[in-house]
Amino acid sequence: MAGGSRGPNDPQRRERILDAALDVIAKHGAIKVTFRRIAEAAEVPLGSLTYYFDDMQDLLTSAFTRLAESVSSRYGALLAAARTPEEAREAVVEIICGKVWGTERNLLLSYELYAFAARNPEVREVMRSWMRASRESLARHFNPLTARALDALVEGFSIHNSVDPRPTDRAGVAAVVDAIANRRAHSDGGSTPAGWTV
């Protein structure tokens, strides 16, 4: 039976452990995460981690899943609230320039997620699910190819701006988003290249 399926004594303890795990990952990197560091950060007994999680792989996969679901929820809510093409483009700008994606913590965690996923198939699927959710949110307003391009732009701008001594300002980001959104990649505006999915 998977560790995450065991009934908890404290319904919020598992979530506190996962949030603490993400804090430890952001501070030390996934490679240096230990049960002891997580337990100390969560202020729970060390033994409670093995109650909720089978092993470190289970815990890290669950923590990265929590991150993905949290960011995807805020990402999706902004796009779901858009009622016009202009509002949809502004939502993309807000995702890049606001606090949905590009916080220092989220960026550090996304770097760790990509690196960890490269060697761990279970975590790779978490990342793929996150990408699918982002593209599905964008596909409410944009054709599939544009949705893919904007999804990549969200991550790319956020990463570049975090290290660039002269990051692109909001007006510049908006101009790039407009340029991509207004360019019809295919004459029918909605076809998807063979083998691609949203």
Backbone CA torsion sign across 34, 38, 43, 47:
negative
Q: Tell me how far CA of residue 189 lies from CA of 28, 81, 136, 192, in angstroms.
A: 45, 23, 16, 9
pLDDT of residue 106: 87
pLDDT band at 93 (very low <50, low <70, confident <90, very high): very high
Return the closest-CA partner of residue 110 out of 29, 170, 37, 164: 29
pLDDT tens-digit map of 103-146: 888 888 989 999 999 989 989 999 999 999 999 999 999 999 99
CA distance 81 to 63: 28
CA distance 27 to 107: 12
Pairwise pLDDT comparison (190 vs 146), residue with the higher score: 146
Identity at 85, one-letter amino acid code: P
CA distance 154 to 130: 13
pLDDT of residue 46: 93
**What angle do the packed helices 144-163 and 85-97 form, to 10 degrees?**
30
Cα-trace Rg, the chain:
19
CA distance 55 to 46: 13
pLDDT band at 11 (very low <50, low <70, confident <90, very high): confident
pLDDT of residue 184: 56
pLDDT tens-digit map of 134-180: 999 999 999 999 999 999 999 899 888 888 899 999 999 999 999 99
Helices (H), the chain: 13-28, 35-42, 46-52, 56-81, 85-97, 104-117, 121-138, 144-163, 170-182
Q: What are the residues whose beta carbons fall under 8 Å from the beta carbon of 175, sequence distance 6 or more? A: none
Average pLDDT, the chain: 87
Mean pLDDT of 60-78: 94
